[in-house]
Amino acid sequence: MQGVVRKLFTDKGFGFIRGENNVDYFFHRSQLHNAKFEEMEEGDPVSFEGADGPKGPKAEDVYLD
- Mean pLDDT, residues 15-29 taken together: 98
33-51: per-residue pLDDT in tens? 999 999 999 999 999 999 9
Q: How far apart are the first and last CA of the chain?
A: 12
| The model's pTM | 0.94
- Mean pLDDT, residues 21-26 taken together: 98
Count of other CB atoms within 10 angstroms of residue 7? 11
Q: Are strands 2-9 and 24-28 parallel, antiparallel or unpaired?
A: unpaired
pLDDT band at 64 (very low <50, low <70, confident <90, very high): very high
pLDDT recorded at residue 46? 98
Distances (CA, A) of 27 to 5, 14, 45: 10, 6, 14
Please state, in angstroms and rounded to a whole number, the distance separating the CA atoms of residues 53 and 37.
20
Q: For the chain, what are the domain ranges?
A: 2-64
CATH superfamily, domain at 2-64: Nucleic acid-binding proteins (2.40.50.140)
In the chain, % of residues over pLDDT 70: 100
- For residue 41, with 0-12 CB atoms within 10 Å meaning exposed, 13-18 middle and 19 or more buried, which class applies? exposed
